Amino acid sequence: MLKQKLKHTLLVSTTLLAMQMAPQTLASDNASNASHHASQGSKYSALTIGDSAVAGAQVSTAVVAIPLAISGGLAMSAGSASVSVAESMMDASSNKPLPICEEVVIAGPPPSESL
């Protein structure tokens, strides 16, 4: 009886120890999920309302992003989906910073939420 109890306790302790020792240090932080997308609404609120709000910048939800083409001796391949705008800005030989919008951009909700 005592032997069985000891065996049981040892087994439980080992399992609990194993749980603690499993490589939590390897935990990825790149999980994505429905709640992530659902949380986009609360993210928008956090960025726009109250003390935590971003001052002096508009918060915008993105619908789509299309890569901008590199020009200036590095022509895009035919039929490229990239958009080519403000040719002088995009010229690879320019030293000026690429233009960046002032808006704080966040991803929109998942397509399933638009139904």
Partner 1 sequence: MRKFLSIVFVALSLKSAQVHAGSTQTGEPKFQPKEIANFAKQVERYSAAKRAHVFVIARVGQPQDTLPEGVEFTHVALAVYSQITMANGEKKPGYAIHNLYQLYDDPAKSSLIIDYPTDFFWAVDELKAGIAIPTLPVQKQILDAINNDVPSKVHNPHYSLIANPFNNQRQNCTEHTLNIINAALYKTTNMAQLKANTKAYFKPQPLSVSPFKLFLGSVFKDEIYKKDHKGKVKIATFTTIKDYLANHNLLAHSAVITPNMLSNIQNSQEI
Residue 40 CB, shortest distance to partner 1, in Å, is: 8
Residue 115 CB, shortest distance to partner 1, in Å, is: 17
* CB of 6 or CB of 74, closer to partner 1: 74
Planar angle of CA 102, 81, 37, nearest 5 degrees: 55
- Which of 98, 108, 114, 93 lies closest to 36, judged by CA? 108
Residue 109 near residue 41, CB atoms below 8 Å: yes
* CB of 1 or CB of 29, closer to partner 1: 29
Q: Which residues bind partner 1 (CB under 8 A)?
A: 8, 11-12, 15-16, 18-36, 39-40, 43, 46-47, 51-55, 57, 59-70, 74, 76-77, 80-83, 85, 92, 94-101, 103-108
Residues 6+ apart with CB under 8 A from 80: 69
Token reading at 51: 């003390």
Residue 87 CB, shortest distance to partner 1, in Å, is: 13
